[in-house]
Amino acid sequence: MKSKKLLILYATQTGNALDVAERIAREAERRACSAVIRSTHEYDASSLPAEDTVIFVVSTTGQGDTPDSMKVFWRFLLQRNLGSHWLEGVHYAVFGLGDSGYQKYNFVAKKLDKRLSDLGAKAVIERGLGDDQHPSGYEAALDPWMSSLWSGLNAIKPDFFPEGPDFLVPIEELIGQPKFQVTYHNVDSMDSQLSTATDFKYLQMQIGKARSMSSGKVPHEKSKPDTFLKMVKNCPLTRASHEKDVRHFEFEFVSQVIQYEVGDVLEVLPSQNPAAVDSFIQRCNLDPESFITVHPREMENHCLDNNLTTSNVPIKLRTFVELTMDVASASPRRYFFEVMSFFATAEHEKERLQYFASPEGRDDLYQYNQKERRTVLEVLEDFPSVQMPFEWLVQLVPPLKNRAFSISSSLLAHPDQVHLTVDVVSWTTPFKRKRRGLCSTWLASLDPEQRIYVPVWFHKGLLPPPPPSLPLILIGPGTGCAPFRGFVAERAVQSQSSTIAPTLLFFGCRNKHNDFLYRDLWLSHSQNDGVLSEAKGGGFYAAFSRDQPQKVYVQHKMQEQSQRIWNLLSEGAAIYVAGSSTKMPSDVMEALEEIISKESGAPRESAARWLRSLEKAGKYHVEAWS
């Protein structure tokens, strides 16, 4: 017997796909259609043939990769033995979230759509593709896609809509209960020494406790930091007059030492501005000193992700807000405005919030909210009559997220240390408001004398550590050079005891005198038999895009060295690319196609195929960030 509930499966990396899945579920329930939401990582893919209709909401990460939570699910679907009738009788629809600035735009949604169809499932409507680059973000594609979804579903499965396709429950009736329940505890008797302890175990426990209770869907094993670091060096790499501020940070382990490798990634939990946290608590009439526990509330139609193994030990409300709720940097989502409209007591505020939450107000909301990067605190201050219960705030305030950075050191060369190369993010909004990146600004403000402990997590990135015998072609413009600083430092140590393969490094920046990151380091490794010296078969090439009338980028420097690149590729070299995700990775790929075609005499299509086979063989790696 097939389920009468609409199954919505989502795969998310940053939370957007979950947000869309929840929105589809709410809209289904407004039409009296029951919906169940599941993450692909907790759904057994072998159950798919038993489903009636499945809506997939999937995001694309990195260079066309599936989110981590979808990897096992996707591997299952790729099994050869499933056959073209495996999903016969199953209906599906796919909505993808991507960014057309990337080469493999919405690749995961496109691949999933094709695979489901190949396995015999029938699409209810054409796949929808949300684009972050659109002036209204992914919602520009989502609204019309959802309208088609309801009419398409009604045409094939009218029993999903017992009240008919045009029936709509008023939003006020549906707002219902928040997904989280907050319990307040009387803890005068609580062991007070705990709340003043500063040892790492206690700090780790506090962070783990708060984050495992929060709505941010943090897998339980990731809620506690791996270790703590203290900053020992904070120095600028760019000239003070330059528009960009790039810093070199050095940290030492203060608790457990983690054995990381070059190419790994460090995640940092940033500290929020205490004044902003206090303002938020005051604006929402909360008691910062109260002790709370937060639990998911079971709902009739919504199966929540219950991997939130919540702890029953109460935590201070202020600590919970500080460690889990991003009150002064991230922008709230559209549903935040919808729920706010329900709690607004001033009529003009209620009307404006309802307009913002409607399809007609979508573009105006995008301009007011996302384009201006309006924070939760700013939005609440703009609508003073709104008093939202804390449970709703726990659910709807964006979670405070870890920020990921490529590690720019090698444990071999820098024992017991971790180095980062960080662009201190700042920009001006369309309304000329100055905005700053939360984590990079906080790190840049730290004084090594202060002994501030930084909670961190280590994980594998997209750049595997190369063996010393592998020739390397490294392309890292701007802060993309960060991981390669680790690679080069490691090879320099290895070269003292064994022979290492040649390394070519292509770096790019705007001006030789303003933002030539690690200039002395690269130049010293290029001389006296260093890792990048010609004597060792290596080379260092820098492109300064603004130092002459014609812009010169890394791909131009690569073309100047096409023969050296081709020689190394012929010897089995691996290519590593790191840096900005917008145009650079595809420009580099095009330059390599041209080089291979020119040097080998093969047509361009063969060169492109050859590069694809290099990718499949694990010898073409890209780590790009926006």
**How far apart are alpha carbons 358 and 346 in whole angstroms?**
19
Contact status, residue 140 vs residue 334, Cβ threshold 8 Å = no
Q: Is 432 known as a binding-site position?
A: no
Q: Is 345 known as a binding-site position?
A: no
| Sheet containing 227-236, strands listed edge to edge, beginning at the edge strand earlier in sequence | 403-406, 265-268, 453-459, 227-236, 246-253, 417-423
Q: Is 61 known as a binding-site position?
A: yes
Q: Is 199 known as a binding-site position?
A: no
CA-nearest of 229, 266, 296 to 451 is 229
Q: Is 570 known as a binding-site position?
A: no
Q: Is 230 known as a binding-site position?
A: no
Q: Which residues are registered as beta bridge partners of 427?
A: 435
Q: Is 553 known as a binding-site position?
A: yes
Q: Is 17 known as a binding-site position?
A: yes
Q: Is 545 known as a binding-site position?
A: yes
Q: Is 406 known as a binding-site position?
A: yes
Residue ranges of E strands in 426-519: 426-428, 434-436, 453-459, 472-475, 503-509
Q: Is 403 known as a binding-site position?
A: yes
Contact status, residue 256 vs residue 227, Cβ threshold 8 Å = yes
Q: Is 309 known as a binding-site position?
A: no
Residue 488 tokens read as 């080069």
Q: Is 132 known as a binding-site position?
A: yes
Q: Is 555 known as a binding-site position?
A: yes
Q: Is 552 known as a binding-site position?
A: yes
596 Cβ contact partners less than 8 Å away, ≥ 6 residues apart: 566, 569, 602, 607, 610, 611
Q: Is 62 known as a binding-site position?
A: yes
CA-nearest of 237, 262, 261 to 249 is 237
- 3-state secondary structure (DSSP) of residue 263: coil
Q: Is 283 known as a binding-site position?
A: no
Q: Is 180 known as a binding-site position?
A: no
Q: Is 618 known as a binding-site position?
A: no
Q: Is 333 known as a binding-site position?
A: no
Q: CB-based burial of residue 175 (10 Å sphere; 0-12 exposed, 13-18 middle, 19+ buried)?
A: middle
Q: How many residues does the chain have?
A: 626
Q: What is the 3-state secondary structure (H, E, C) of 32-62?
A: CCCEEEEEHHHCCHHHHHHCCEEEEEEECEC
- 3-state secondary structure (DSSP) of residue 130: strand
**How far apart are alpha carbons 389 and 343 in whole angstroms?**
9
Q: Is 44 known as a binding-site position?
A: no
Q: Is 625 known as a binding-site position?
A: yes
Q: Is 75 known as a binding-site position?
A: no
Q: Are strands 472-475 and 503-509 parallel, antiparallel or unpaired?
A: parallel
Residue ranges of E strands in 392-533: 403-406, 417-423, 426-428, 434-436, 453-459, 472-475, 503-509
Q: Is 479 known as a binding-site position?
A: yes
The binding site for FMN consists of: 12-17, 59-62, 132
The binding site for FAD consists of: 373, 403-406, 437-440, 625
The binding site for NADP(+) consists of: 479, 545-546, 551-555, 587
The binding site consists of: 12-17, 59-62, 132, 373, 403-406, 437-440, 479, 545-546, 551-555, 587, 625
